[in-house]
Structure 1
């Protein structure tokens, strides 16, 4: 599944074709940790989250059917938002574009944006997916590969992700790009383009709404069968950041199916239509997020804000990949949170309804220390 392309430092294909996405990652030997062990090691400071991955299993039949249903429900909306974000990217760059998505939530969005730009503009676009890790920064070897090996113009590089919440990765990106620019005497733009900017921290977004972007429901089976990026002892100084191949899930892979579902909804008229003004500004979203986090920390006695994951997408990741303690939803009848309620039932996690919450959902990670 992980085919190498001919090069001294070969990108990975994952389960996408080369025209859709090249992963600048190193395939490493897997050493899997249980979710419980991983959580304990993270919270006790023994290991950084980026040093460990868990084995992934196929989604249950019921959960997969929920993913298919939500894809059908939101694919038209997501298609319009991808086209509008693609238009924003073109308007903010001159000439050809190199999309650099942030593994792994950004990867499917990068594939969609790449298809949109190549289909509806006179601009040529290529798409690479690279690693950025909280507290560790961006993969500078991957950026070097693009700029110095592939001779990609720095001004053509555009960073994209799926969504923002608290803005931790937005801040990490800006800090990392500034550091890279200083080291390499370059002027890469640190701007971040996302579909849903629920925390108001990205530079450009298609919406501030918190809804179930369907790709957020799944792990590797909607992201090219690639794991979250890894930075452990297997990664040498000149390597790309690492990843694990989940090729055992090949029969359950819906990465390309999902992309086709969305791109089949693309329309030239949507690409050409004027952008809609948002009801709330980014500054308003930031203020609401800060207030909400303070309230949750106080009410639920949370000392580390890293244990609070606001937004439907981030809450989903907690329910799938972490040890959840509590699920908070704005409205239990919201179709965008049906999958979260199902996961909560399966894991015997308490659910609280909080109608005044500025997000569709929020999950708290359990204190396992």
Structure 2
């Protein structure tokens, strides 16, 4: 049973472009702080030892062609995404019951959490609380956010939500957070529900296909106009939530609500199939994650002589991020005519990044970040 502590925390700032009934962001508003660095400066800093959460990338401003690709992909995959979302929602309900708080991991998890909340409400009349919180590789989960949720909803259990899996690094951070918080008398379930699990490092997922989730195409403009999360000692105090910027100035370009509205419109048509599929998977899927995708990573690391495994970003979602906000060295794909790779090839062409076919790849693709001279 989860046991809230007596730690006193302030109410969260009202940030983000989603409706208040869809999600509450447990994030400190850093909108007035200059945190962005150029891609080159940020890459050099990260590979020289500065933690990625101490600064932000300059948000990629997509071309009209790329925005068109987002809309075309959304048109093409909305029902598919809705089905995967419905399946993971059904699995959550069957495994955890109704006494749950949804905690989306900002920011890729946020739109998926919104969709799960909407599905449970529309299909079962369940209005479960939903928050978006920060978790950071190498630093951990926002413990103040955990305290706040359990104080606001005593006796309820937290279900963590993310968009997709890559190497499973965030799942490992979640497992470590669970063990740490248990020492404080707070008992969490480290099950991470995801829309897509190509890395095979989750037990609760809507699909294991490595396909393009349209929200992976864009950054803040499909995530409630929120930046990545920030954790820096001079900005985040002992009683603060982790921070983020709210890009209000991009309201005219925001697609966050359009994305969730379009997908949730299909819930009524996919719910019966999702209920049947989730019942089958409960009896046929393994109870523990296999982490099969890590075998790919180790093979790539050996084949290309890459010292730092963090420079290898597998899966469509992670490869998209590499192309949007890192300095890519090359992109590996399972085969060039994979229909899930259209936007990857477009971005790679735009940034003049070589694309190579890598046989027997578990994922659709994998992005490799360019090692900086003198970096690890």
Q: Quickly name the TM-score band, shorter chain normalised.
A: over 0.9
Contact (CA 8 Å) 2:314, 2:365: kept in 1 or not? yes
Contact (CA 8 Å) 2:181, 2:187: kept in 1 or not? no
Deviation of the 1:281 alpha carbon: 6.0
- Determine whether 1:115 maps to 2:118: yes
Aligned match of 2:194: 194
In structure 1, distance between residues paired with 2:277 and 2:289: 23
Higher relative contact order (CA 8 A, sep 6+): 2
Deviation of the 1:285 alpha carbon: 5.4
In structure 1, distance between residues paired with 2:285 and 2:193: 18
Deviations, residues 233-275 of structure 1 (Å, cap 9, x unaligned): 2111110000012222211110000001101111242343333
TM-score (norm 1): 0.92
**Structure 1 residues 298 and 332 mapped into 2: Cα distance closer, same or farther (>3 Å)?**
same
Deviations, residues 306-350 of structure 1 (Å, cap 9, x unaligned): 000010110000000111000111122222111111111111111
Count residues in correspondence: 358
In structure 2, distance between residues paired with 1:339 and 1:328: 14
- Determine whether 1:66 maps to 2:37: no
Spell out the pairing of 1:14-93 with structure 2 (5 A cutoff): 14-28=16-30, 29-45=33-49, 47-93=50-96
- Determine whether 1:254 maps to 2:255: yes
Deviation of the 1:151 alpha carbon: 3.2
**Structure 1 residues 359 and 271 mapped into 2: Cα distance closer, same or farther (>3 Å)?**
closer
Contact (CA 8 Å) 1:104, 1:227: kept in 2 or not? yes
**Structure 1 residues 274 and 344 mapped into 2: Cα distance closer, same or farther (>3 Å)?**
closer
**Structure 1 residues 350 and 282 mapped into 2: Cα distance closer, same or farther (>3 Å)?**
farther
**Structure 1 residues 48 and 59 mapped into 2: Cα distance closer, same or farther (>3 Å)?**
same
In structure 1, distance between residues paired with 2:321 and 2:357: 19
SS at match of 1:159: strand
Q: Name structure 2 gaps, 5 residues minimum.
A: 1-8
Contact (CA 8 Å) 1:154, 1:187: kept in 2 or not? no
Contact (CA 8 Å) 2:100, 2:156: kept in 1 or not? no
SS at match of 1:368: coil
In structure 1, distance between residues paired with 2:223 and 2:257: 9
In structure 2, distance between residues paired with 1:181 and 1:160: 20
**Structure 1 residues 230 and 55 mapped into 2: Cα distance closer, same or farther (>3 Å)?**
same
Q: Name structure 1 gaps, 5 residues minimum.
A: 1-6
- Determine whether 1:237 maps to 2:238: yes
RMSD: 1.9
Contact (CA 8 Å) 1:195, 1:205: kept in 2 or not? yes
In structure 1, distance between residues paired with 2:364 and 2:227: 26
